[in-house]
Structure 1
Amino acid sequence: MTEATRYCTLPDPFPMRRGGQLHGARIAFETWGTLNPAADNAVLILTGMSPSAHAASHPDDPSPGWWDDIVGAGKPIDTRRWFVICVNSLGSCMGSTGPASIDPATGERYRLGFPELTLEDVAAAAHEVVRSLGIEKLRCVVGPSMGGMTALAHALNLPGASDHLMLISTAPHSLPFSIAIRSLQRELIRSDPAWNHGQYDDDSFPVTGMMLARKLGMTTYRSALEWRQRFARTRVPDNQRDPAPFSPEFAVESYLAYQAERFITRFDPNCYLYLSRAMDWFDVADYGGSVARGLARVRARSALVIGVETDLLFPIEQQEEIAEGLRDAGVSTHFADLPSIQGHDAFLVDTHRFGRVIGNYMASI
């Protein structure tokens, strides 16, 4: 089996929005489907904070992707029609250049020497992948969660680069609650003595800080209603409990621990810090003084904006604000308010409900 992930080398130097530049940087990406002769059937997927470029299974990598129910032949984003590109964000640790990568100037990991990262940088790097594939204009840019913010950054800085936009469970900027949660997550990581000002290694890794940050995040990715329906007050069986004082007693505690342990084996703490802060920094209002004036810069033919009523991190009114601003900008916009109980992560797990809306929109463009 060959490797499905490919790599695009960024222009050297690659300038960063808040100063500094990268040399020899690259972006990991995967593609599905076939680019047609006119090169006008390309769809770009920009991810949330932690996913890789492996959105769906691939002939060269049949392992399940993070959006397998949405991307593929006969699926809502149908790879029989569309040439789909998914990029791993600049600043991540899933193949793209980020704080965990080697700085060619020193031969050591960038760590906190990595330039300050913005979602505008992530969008610009993703666009270099598109250009490298010989695509002058995208049919659609798709962005869930952080990817939706990145899609907005792409639309604001590259007006007209895509005919259509799909913005899912995202926001024009982070609200105080979301900023507070991410700030606490970053503090938990930095407070772990093993973080050591970013100078950790595999033998001295901030396990506790990362686990606590992930647990805090997980509590906000779903809704209180789902937690109640899924776990109620179910307890861990006595024969499975750790006898240590204050060890997890409830099933929900064990679930959070399991999810945290899975996460820390695959994600770099410094990358987490950089991408988390980039989400807090992004603000459509930077492009004109208000969200409405910023969205007035968007030059797309149509947009689909999807929100979930139970999303704590990006409340439904934020998707309504985006939809209203795009309509005022002359973009034909459909807003879908979905009644999923699964909160912010609904686009990953309530794929039957999301798939219908996404499939209908993709069939219309």
Structure 2
Amino acid sequence: MSDARKYFNLPSPFAMKRGGALNGAHVAYETWGKLNAARDNAVLILTGLSPSAHAAANADDPSPGWWEGMLGPGKAIDTERWFVVCMNSLGSDKGSTCPASVNPATGEPYRLTFPDLSLEDVANAAKTLVASLGIDQLACLIGCSMGGMSALAYMVLHPRSVRAHISVDTAPQAQPFAIAIRSLQREAIRLDPHWNGGQYDDHHYPDTGMSIARKLGVITYRSAMEWNGRFARIRLDADQREEQPFGFEFQVESYLEGHAQRFVRTFDPNSYLYLSRASDWFDIAEYGNGSVMGGLKRIHLAQALVIGVSTDILFPLEQQEQIADGLKAAGANVQFVALDSPQGHDAFLVDIENYSRAIGGFLATL
């Protein structure tokens, strides 16, 4: 656990969009830099599905964060200028209240009794955290992947609470392909006998289901160009192959297995299920009488930067264009940046040079 991690207690009861409420809930967050006297230099980062609040090293935790190259003194998100907050999503097991947390009413983990989770709940938790820090309006709200959808929810639910927005590799609603992939990921977990209706423990744990779910994710986070370039059809050496029928034969299979094994016991399966479904449910069109453009036009901003990557199959470029067009129609001054990074959806974690140039350049104009 990070020493830099802070906790904010949400008001009780904390009402959830789809019914039910949480009592005694909290969210984990970390901060970098200092809030100025005017309290107008705050930047909030909302994360993708699996990252923690530890976006970068800081004095209390020098270990590298998931966006280490992007955030810090003199970097694109310059912590000598900005007071940066990164929140772990409500429902995530990286410090925030989630299905693995103990329900104070029963003394037992929530598991599947956790209320239905929506990205609007994540957004409302974030807004409450920001208000608790004495910040009325964010200088900039940054949302990456799932966090980009949470950011759209934040801005549509809390008008004029954000001056500028950076949208990174996200979407205004999940497309059928993304829903299909996430549905398969959830099915892999649910069909693992050790999932046991959400009642697993360390000795009976859905390792296989989580492994398959992670492999499906990794396949969609990168592009075919990246897979071809890195692995081609290279086979494993004879001594690296599995001694069983239909075992791993190609390097790409071994790579996916390694990724899965590093992930499996680091993320609570029920939390994964809840956040995955929340991503499928989110639809900005709900706020625009069934129209994505109508929903986006309800967001009032001064400036926005929308970044997408041409090789992203999970959140395709046309969806980022949709966000840019909608925010422009709402009156924002919008920059749209389409990158050709070969890494697909994960480019924002890998192609730091090009994302830094875009994000740093935009923040310099604020």
TM-score above 0.5: yes
Q: Which amino acid aligns with 2:302?
A: R
Whole-Å separation in 2 of the counterparts to 1:173 and 1:337:
19
Whole-Å separation in 2 of the counterparts to 1:299 and 1:252:
45
Other-structure match for 2:337: 336
**Which structure 2 residues correspond to residues 310-349 of structure 1 after superposition, within 5 A?**
310-349=311-350
CA deviations 1:276-328 (Å, max 9, x no partner) are 00000000100022011111111110100001001000110000011011111
Offset at 1:335?
Answer: 0.3
Whole-Å separation in 2 of the counterparts to 1:2 and 1:231:
35
Whole-Å separation in 1 of the counterparts to 2:365 and 2:104:
46
Offset at 1:219?
Answer: 0.6
Other-structure match for 1:130: 130
1:27 aligns with 2:27: yes
Other-structure match for 1:354: 355
Whole-Å separation in 2 of the counterparts to 1:282 and 1:178:
12
Offset at 1:132?
Answer: 1.4
Whole-Å separation in 1 of the counterparts to 2:245 and 2:356:
45
Q: Which amino acid aligns with 2:321?
A: E
**Which structure 2 residues correspond to residues 80-91 of structure 1 after superposition, within 5 A?**
80-91=80-91
TM-score (norm 2): 0.99
Whole-Å separation in 2 of the counterparts to 1:18 and 1:122:
12
Q: For the Cα contact (< 8 Å) 2:207–2:265, is it kept in 1?
A: no
Whole-Å separation in 1 of the counterparts to 2:28 and 2:312:
29
Q: For the Cα contact (< 8 Å) 2:90–2:98, is it kept in 1?
A: yes
Q: Which amino acid aligns with 1:78?
A: D
Judged with a 3 Å threshold, the aligned counterparts in structure 2 of structure 1 residues 348 and 2 are, in CA distance, closer, same or farther, namely: closer
Whole-Å separation in 2 of the counterparts to 1:159 and 1:339:
33
TM-score (norm 1): 0.99
Other-structure match for 1:196: 196
**Which structure 2 residues correspond to residues 248-287 of structure 1 after superposition, within 5 A?**
248-287=248-287
SS at structure 2 position matched to 1:85: strand
Other-structure match for 1:69: 69
Whole-Å separation in 2 of the counterparts to 1:47 and 1:207:
24
1:160 aligns with 2:160: yes
**Which structure 2 residues correspond to residues 299-310 of structure 1 after superposition, within 5 A?**
299-310=300-311
Runs of 5+ consecutive residues of structure 2 not aligned to the other structure: none
Aligned residues: 365
1:178 aligns with 2:181: no
CA deviations 1:54-103 (Å, max 9, x no partner) are 00011111111000000101100000000000000000000000101000
Offset at 1:41?
Answer: 0.3
Percentage identity across paired residues of the two chains = 61
Q: Which amino acid aligns with 2:281?
A: W
Other-structure match for 2:292: 291
Other-structure match for 1:209: 209
1:5 aligns with 2:5: yes
Whole-Å separation in 1 of the counterparts to 2:320 and 2:128:
28
Offset at 1:2?
Answer: 7.8
Offset at 1:244?
Answer: 2.1
Other-structure match for 1:59: 59
1:93 aligns with 2:93: yes
Q: Which amino acid aligns with 1:196?
A: N
Offset at 1:168?
Answer: 0.6
Q: For the Cα contact (< 8 Å) 2:163–2:301, is it kept in 1?
A: yes
CA deviations 1:183-235 (Å, max 9, x no partner) are 01101100001000001011110000000011011111000001000111111
Other-structure match for 2:364: 363
Judged with a 3 Å threshold, the aligned counterparts in structure 2 of structure 1 residues 257 and 2 are, in CA distance, closer, same or farther, namely: closer
Q: For the Cα contact (< 8 Å) 2:16–2:121, is it kept in 1?
A: yes
Q: Which amino acid aligns with 1:335?
A: F
Report the RMSD for the aligned CA atoms in angstroms.
1.0
Whole-Å separation in 1 of the counterparts to 2:328 and 2:130:
27
Whole-Å separation in 2 of the counterparts to 1:296 and 1:325:
6
Q: Which amino acid aligns with 1:8?
A: F
Offset at 1:241?
Answer: 2.2
Moved more, 14-23 or 240-249: 240-249
Offset at 1:249?
Answer: 1.1
Whole-Å separation in 2 of the counterparts to 1:237 and 1:57:
38
SS at structure 1 position matched to 2:103: coil
Offset at 1:245?
Answer: 2.2
Whole-Å separation in 2 of the counterparts to 1:301 and 1:60:
34
Other-structure match for 2:45: 45
Whole-Å separation in 1 of the counterparts to 2:334 and 2:314:
23
CA deviations 1:315-347 (Å, max 9, x no partner) are 100000110111111011000000111100000
